[in-house]
Amino acid sequence: MVDQTRSWTDDLSMNVVFPHTLDTERLPQIGLVVLKSDETIERDFRDLLPRTVELLVTRVPAGDELTLDNLTQIQNHLREAVGLFPTGVDFAALAYGCTSGTAVLGVPRVEALLHDAANTREVSNPLSALLAASEALGVRRIGVLSPYSQPVSDRLCGTLGEHGLEVAACGSFAVPHEAMVVRIDAGSILFGAAQLARQAHFDALFLSCTNLRTLGLLERLEEQLGVPVMSSNQVLAWHLMQQLGIETEGPGRLFRTGSRAVVSA
């Protein structure tokens, strides 16, 4: 019997080339630089960002220990990390997703590194976002709860003070390794927040660290403490949307302010 079947590859004339057109418009693209150890921020951003933007993510090398030196060294890898984004992207905004790293390097340094590494109209980071969020909420005296070692926690709270916020109480879980941060459970965070509220009066509470799983606790803590409660990922997503003038929804009083106030750090 003669085999009547053949592959399309047997006849090059069947390899048809079709005409096509290219889209000339894209949704606003947001770039997010994430520490290699972060297991939380991408999940939170999927919940926080609207479908009217596109999120592109890259990872930057970082040491496993939460030390001032390791956080400082990240700057040496930022350009390479940003270079892993698709070629030719014109970002609407580019964000560095590390709260403690921004505190250690300083907001001006982080902003300069981002602008130098990519073509972007706006830049953000959790500290600049917190300052904008605090202004929108009309708060100045805050409590801070973080997972960091004592030196890193002190640097964070000191940096916030330098930018005009009054830190009424600063508490930490003092975990030595980044891998432990994502595993700090909800009960520990709720307890730490309650203890800070007993220790001092503040107008708002900030839960620091993009890797700390706090997003689902914001509404509960606001009800318990009677003050706005903000987290690193919440304020960062909010700030990016404010910069782009895009309406969005999210947990906490911050997303109900209706404010478009965006301040420079």
pTM of the full structure: 0.91
Distance in angstroms (rounded) separating the CA atoms of residues 171 and 195: 9
pLDDT band at 2 (very low <50, low <70, confident <90, very high): low
Residues 121 and 145 sit within 8 Å (Cβ to Cβ): no
Average pLDDT of the residues in 189-205: 97
Q: Residue 252: which residues within 8 A CB-CB, separation 6 or more?
A: 218, 219, 222, 228, 229, 230, 231, 234
Q: What is the model's pLDDT at position 129?
A: 98
Sequence-ordered alpha helix ranges (H) in the chain: 41-48, 68-73, 78-82, 99-105, 107-117, 126-137, 150-162, 178-181, 186-199, 218-225, 232-244
Torsion sign (Cα): 184, 190, 194, 200 = positive
Q: How confident is the model over 17-45, as pLDDT tens digits?
A: 999 999 888 899 999 999 999 999 999 99
Structure tokens at 31: 């770039």
Domain(s) of CATH 3.40.50.1860: residues in the chain: 129-234
pLDDT at residue 26 in the model: 87
pLDDT: is 171 or 12 the higher one?
171
Q: Tokens 């900030």 map to which residue?
A: 206
Closest CA to 263 of 136, 106, 140: 136
Contact 169, 144 (CB under 8 A): yes
40, 210 Cβ separation under 8 angstroms: yes
Residue 241 host element (H or E): helix 232-244
Question: What is the rounded CA–CA span in Å between residue 39 and residue 86?
Answer: 22
Closest CA to 253 of 123, 168, 136: 136
CATH of 29-125 among 3.30.450, 2.10.25, 3.30.780, 3.40.50: 3.40.50
**pLDDT higher than threshold 50 for residue 219:** yes
Architecture category of domain 129-234 in CATH: 3-Layer(aba) Sandwich (3.40)
Q: CA geometry: angle at 167 spanning 166 and 170, to 5°?
A: 180
Which pLDDT score is estimated for 265?
A: 43
Q: What percent of the chain is modeled with pLDDT above 90?
A: 84
